[in-house]
């Protein structure tokens, strides 16, 4: 089997624990992992994980608690990254969590950052794109955008963990979502 290459984007919706756990799982399952973080996700990291991270000095070790040779961080403005073009092959992109703002921009083809451009590339090249939106309640605009994105080929997988396995901890809920996402990437 050829090397598997995934691009993970974290945006400013609630759900940083999903992002951190998914990045760990992607490192275990993939040969190469690209990572970008939206301008607004840093604030969510601060509020939800208590981590004061900055885009210009970010190191994976600060998020995962250990360094990683497989994960490479790309700044949001780095349009020379492999994800900004369809001419460089990579396998899949996951946006976890995906804010409604990012989802709207992707749905309407607004490629104003590496994250939204990479999603645009995934759709046009027919590569796997999974978005994990989170908000409640959902406006008709959110619902229409999610429908349009699903029709364009993305997998829309709201952060909605099930309770039928009787989760005991927050980690159980997080792992539920992460394993559902992973199942779509195997």
Ligand X SMILES: Cc1cc2nc3c(=O)[nH]c(=O)nc-3n(C[C@H](O)[C@H](O)[C@H](O)COP(=O)(O)O)c2cc1C
Closest residue by beta carbon to ligand X: 12
Nearer to ligand X by C-beta: 43 or 85? 43
Residue among 152, 30, 20 nearest 97 (CA): 20
Closest to ligand X by CB, 78 vs 91, is 78
Q: Give the torsion sign (CA, 96, 137, 127, 173).
A: positive
Rounded to a whole number of angstroms, the minimum distance from the CB of residue 186 to ligand X is 27
Give the shortest CB-160-to-ligand X separation in angstroms: 12
Q: Which is nearer to ligand X, 41 or 181 (CB)?
A: 41
Closest CB 104 distance from ligand X, rounded Å: 9
Q: How many CB atoms within 10 Å of residue 181?
A: 20
Strand 32-37 and strand 71-73: the pairing is parallel
Going by their DSSP bridges, the two strands 128-133 and 5-10 should be labelled as unpaired
Residues that bind ligand X (CB under 6 A): 11-14, 38-41, 43-44, 47, 99-102, 134-135
Residue 62, CA distances (Å) to 29, 40, 58, 124 in order:
21, 18, 7, 34
Q: Which is nearer to ligand X, 30 or 96 (CB)?
A: 96
**Closest distance of CB 11 from ligand X, Å:** 4
């Amino acid at each position: 089997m050829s090397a598997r290459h995934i691009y993970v984007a974290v945006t400013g919706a609630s759900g940083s624990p999903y992002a951190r756990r998914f990045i760990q799982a992607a490192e275990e399952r993939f040969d190469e992992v690209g990572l970008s973080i939206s301008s607004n996700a840093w604030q969510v990291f601060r509020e939800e994980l208590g981590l004061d991270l900055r885009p210009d000095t970010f190191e994976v070790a600060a998020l995962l608690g250990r360094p990683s040779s497989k994960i490479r961080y790309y700044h949001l403005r780095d349009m020379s990254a492999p994800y900004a073009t369809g001419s460089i092959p990579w396998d899949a992109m996951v946006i976890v969590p995906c804010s409604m703002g990012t989802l709207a921009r992707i749905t309407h083809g607004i490629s104003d950052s590496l994250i939204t451009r990479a999603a645009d590339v995934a759709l046009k090249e027919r590569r796997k794109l999974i978005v994990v939106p989170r908000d409640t309640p959902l406006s008709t605009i959110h619902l229409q955008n999610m429908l349009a994105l699903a029709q364009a080929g993305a997998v829309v997988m709201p952060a909605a963990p099930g309770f039928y396995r009787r989760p005991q901890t927050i980690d159980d809920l997080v792992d539920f979502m992460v394993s559902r996402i992973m199942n779509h990437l195997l």
